[in-house]
């Protein structure tokens, strides 16, 4: 699972202090970074073995180390072993998840509260990921973490965390500053997702969907962030649609559902303070989108999830919708916000669903890489959209635009 690296060698440090600061970015870009951090931290705790998990951990670790307005104190409450097997232990991943859960809590709840709350958030995040690892392979069991799971079930986990924090991580208790190199800290890449399995993708999308016109396109600095396209109606400033594409690889239906739930949790975290109540956000609801089959006998539908909610910002009330789907190895997410005076939640939901159905039936997503060697039956069943190992040249017609992603092989990893 993990290599012998700095992360593993620091597992039993009395306390690990990770100072992080928000980069000097524009507010919108800063919000996007923190929203992504929370989203991916939640996705990893719910699905730590998903395709691309190693790349997600690498990005989260980089962000944690490079960003000085937050401080993450990782107290040794997990009961991780002092030495671990280089190839099979999940201890480094569990420790990393503790960090991510702690920082995600600070981003969403603030850093001025009780340190016990922050510590507990990190531990609970690690326990969620641990449970998924064990379900996949019971041999990965770690007795110390099992003990914490039992304490959680008994309702005494918080008291235990508070006691350990008081004994080992407060006052004059020794502390160690965690210094990790991102490449050293992340699990080794064996047949990397980006740069090998997926070497490049072409997304050809329509510039107009009904009354909506594409007005802006944004690529995110990190390749896992993908890109987004903003659509607006000419002369109408009351609402906008943002459409996101980012790579996730081949996903089974259960994994897609887990990702959708992670997206909802991240959105709730980001908008909670702007909502009357978190109960105001609807549950995820299934949305079937008819599409063209990618081959004879393949599925002619994409199973998406949708939700709606209301929020207020700068004195205005808004109706908002999110739709999330995975198709052709990419997460495709729609966010629609419109002034409530223009459209109710129900109206916004209908508009968003109509847009998504039309858009998805017209967008072309085609990729190349070693994904082309996946058995044909699996490619067809999961709508892989992988057209082989070699680069491809799509046809971009009138009224269309191409988003092209190129994924070079990671440093030190040769594409095969």
Q: Is the pLDDT of residue 259 over 50?
A: yes
Highest mean pLDDT range out of 52-56, 172-176, 313-317? Answer: 313-317
Of the candidate CATH numbers 3.40.1000.10, 3.10.350.10, 1.10.357.140, 1.10.260.30, the domain formed by 200-406 belongs to 3.40.1000.10
Per-residue model confidence as pLDDT tens digits over 376-412:
888 899 999 998 888 878 889 999 999 999 988 765 4
**Residue holding tokens 């600095």?**
221
Split at pLDDT 50, 70, 90, the class of 32 is: low
Q: Please, which residues bridge with residue 285 across strands?
A: 306
Residues 280-286: what's their mean pLDDT? 94
Per-residue model confidence as pLDDT tens digits over 301-338:
999 999 999 999 989 999 999 999 999 999 999 999 99
pLDDT for the residue 269 = 83
Q: Please, which residues bridge with residue 122 across strands?
A: none
pLDDT for the residue 292 = 93
The domain limits of the chain are 6-185, 200-406
Q: Which residue has the higher pLDDT, 127 or 178?
A: 127
Split at pLDDT 50, 70, 90, the class of 341 is: very high
Q: Which residue has the higher pLDDT, 77 or 179?
A: 77
Per-residue model confidence as pLDDT tens digits over 354-366:
999 999 999 999 9
* Degrees to nearest 5, angle at CA 43 with 263 and 241: 25
What pairing do the DSSP bridges indicate for beta strands 301-313 and 316-327?
antiparallel
pLDDT for the residue 79 = 76
Q: pLDDT exceeding 90 applies to what percent of the chain?
A: 38
Lowest average pLDDT, out of 61-70, 100-109, 116-125, 370-379, goes to: 61-70
**229: its two tokens:** 């396209």
pLDDT for the residue 178 = 36
pLDDT for the residue 366 = 95
Mean pLDDT for all residues in the chain? 82
Burial class, 165, CB count within 10 angstroms (exposed 0-12 / middle 13-18 / buried 19+): buried
Lowest average pLDDT, out of 7-21, 201-215, 269-283, 394-408, goes to: 7-21
């Amino acid at each position: 699972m993990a290599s012998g690296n700095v992360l593993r060698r620091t597992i039993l440090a009395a306390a690990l202090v990770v100072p992080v600061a928000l980069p000097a970015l524009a507010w919108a870009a800063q919000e996007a970074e923190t929203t992504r951090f929370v989203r991916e931290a939640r996705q990893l705790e719910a699905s730590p073995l998903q395709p691309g998990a190693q790349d997600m951990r690498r990005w989260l670790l980089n962000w944690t180390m490079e960003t000085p307005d937050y401080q993450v104190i990782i107290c040794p409450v997990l009961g991780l072993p002092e030495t671990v097997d280089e190839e099979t232990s999940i201890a480094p991943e569990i420790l990393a998840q503790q960090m991510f859960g702690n920082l995600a809590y600070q981003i969403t709840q603030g850093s001025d509260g009780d340190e016990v709350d922050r510590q507990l958030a990190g531990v609970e995040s690690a326990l969620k990921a641990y449970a998924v690892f064990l379900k996949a392979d019971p041999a990965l069991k770690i007795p110390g973490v099992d003990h914490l799971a039992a304490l959680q079930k008994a309702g005494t986990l918080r008291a235990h965390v508070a006691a350990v924090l008081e004994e080992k991580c407060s006052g004059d208790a020794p502390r160690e500053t965690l210094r990790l190199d991102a490449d050293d800290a992340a699990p080794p890449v064996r047949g990397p997702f980006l740069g090998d399995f997926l070497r490049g993708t072409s997304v050809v999308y329509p510039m107009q969907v009904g009354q909506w016109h594409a007005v802006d396109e944004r690529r995110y600095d990190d390749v896992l962030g993908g890109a987004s396209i903003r659509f607006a109606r000419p002369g109408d400033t009351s609402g906008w649609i943002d459409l996101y594409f980012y790579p996730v690889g081949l996903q089974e239906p259960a994994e897609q559902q887990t990702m959708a739930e992670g997206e909802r949790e991240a959105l709730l975290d980001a908008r909670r303070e702007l909502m009357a109540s978190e109960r105001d956000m609807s549950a995820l609801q299934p949305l079937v989108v008819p599409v063209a089959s990618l081959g004879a006998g393949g599925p002619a539908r994409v199973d998406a999830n949708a939700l709606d909610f209301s929020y207020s910002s700068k004195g205005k009330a808004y109706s908002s919708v999110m739709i999330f789907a995975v198709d052709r190895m990419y997460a495709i997410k729609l966010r629609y916000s419109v002034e409530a005076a223009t459209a109710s939640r129900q109206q916004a939901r209908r508009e968003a669903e109509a847009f998504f159905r039309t858009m998805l039936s017209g967008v072309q997503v085609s990729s190349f890489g070693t994904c082309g060697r996946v058995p044909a039956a699996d490619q067809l069943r999961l709508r892989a959209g992988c057209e082989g190992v070699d680069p491809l040249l799509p046809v971009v017609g009138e009224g269309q635009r191409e988003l092209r992603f190129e994924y070079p092989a990671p440093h030190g990893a040769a594409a095969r």
